[in-house]
Copies of this chain bind each other. A is one copy, B any other.
Amino acid sequence: MHSLELVKPDGRALTLYARGPIAPVADVPSPFREPLASQAHLRWHPLRGEWVTYAAHRQDRTFQPPPEYDPLAATVDPERPTELPAGTWDVAVFDNRFPALGGGGRAEAPSLHVPTAPAGGQCEVVVYTPERDTSLGALGLDHLELLLSVWADRTRRLGERDDVRLVFPFENRGVEAGATLHHPHGQIYAYPVVPPLPARMAAQAKEHLAEKGRGLLETMIDAERRDGVRLLYEGAHAVAFVPVCARYPYECWVAPIRPAAQFGDLDDAQRTDLARALKTVLLKYDGLWRRPMPYLMAWYQAPSDGETHPEAHLHAQFYPPYRTSERLKYLAGTELGAGFYAMDALPEDKARELQAVEVTLS
């Protein structure tokens, strides 16, 4: 993997990644001239026992821009700069101009009747490809392998920072999932604390490992492979399946079979097979109703806290917001209010639908 580190005129970092050598970049563009001055701060939610981040400058952020302007495409006209230069890059990562965390400003946290703190951490945008009219699943397997390596590189770089505890790559795909730009891209949130859900999952995994002497997700993967009925992909080193305890009708998990704590712990064979498992899920989603399936893709890995995490097992969870081709699954009272998920479909039935979608990996 080749990479080239650059700085935008407004001070934000940009890193280009490619499988081959990257040509020098003369002009690093940005749609923004003024330096970023983040005012984000954290407030403690005493009743839920969690931090909430407040970034009031985000109200102005880019929202469904007109189709002719794609801020994630390469700049063609220097008078209308985008976020990215033309060039030989395959994947690009830059600092989010509207970060919910970090951003470099020296934010004073306000004085309130709950604890507050400046919002450390970092928000990055990961542009999967220079091409706009494509999708993650349409990229070649070698491109997906590159992306897995990019996530590893970002995890390492962000994880070294004092104000980062967990690196969380994710993608909101489709307007139904809250995406505001159509160009294929994801995001990385580098959190200054381990957020509630990864913390909960780590606690569960630790307890299981201590009790059973074997990893929790590893144990679940063993069982899914034995059962077979919810499997979508089974390679030598990676699997994809609808989990037995799915909370969304078309929920899928993608994981290496042998645990890796973080992206950087994957070996070559694991990375190659994980790209195949990932592509299988993406193609099955888009093939199911022959249209792009919206989803949230969330990647869980070990915290970057200097500790070893034998309980951690890198994996992705996909949450598509549809329950049938026409009907959205709304998160409503029981889910958002009580945290208790109600499913009106069986994972086994939804897995069968996805199993029936034939895909070709290349």
Residues of A within 8 A of B (CB): 43-59, 61, 63, 100-101, 112-114, 166, 168, 170-172, 177-178, 187, 189, 191, 195-198, 200-201, 203-205, 208, 216-217, 220, 223-224, 226-227, 244-247, 296, 298, 317, 319, 323-324, 327, 330-334, 336-347, 349
Check B187 against A48 for contact (C-beta < 8 Å). no
Check A61 against B344 for contact (C-beta < 8 Å). yes
Per assembly, the copies of the chain total: 2
Chain B, Cβ-Cβ closest to A112: B244
With A201-B47, A244-B113, A337-B296 known as contacts, the answer to whether A172 contacts B332 (CB < 8 A) is: yes
How far apart sit A57 and B55, CA to CA, in the bound complex (Å)? 43
Residue in contact with A172 in the complex, picked from B49, B223, B333, CB distance below 8 Å: B333
Residue in contact with A47 in the complex, picked from B56, B220, B333, CB distance below 8 Å: B220
- Rounded to whole Å, the gap between the CB of A354 and the closest CB of chain B is 17
- Rounded to whole Å, the gap between the CB of A331 and the closest CB of chain B is 7
With A44-B245, A339-B195, A343-B55 known as contacts, the answer to whether A113 contacts B298 (CB < 8 A) is: no
Check A332 against B178 for contact (C-beta < 8 Å). yes
Check A177 against B332 for contact (C-beta < 8 Å). yes
Check B113 against A204 for contact (C-beta < 8 Å). no
Residue in contact with A201 in the complex, picked from B43, B48, B336, CB distance below 8 Å: B48
Check A63 against B197 for contact (C-beta < 8 Å). no
- Rounded to whole Å, the gap between the CB of A157 and the closest CB of chain B is 19
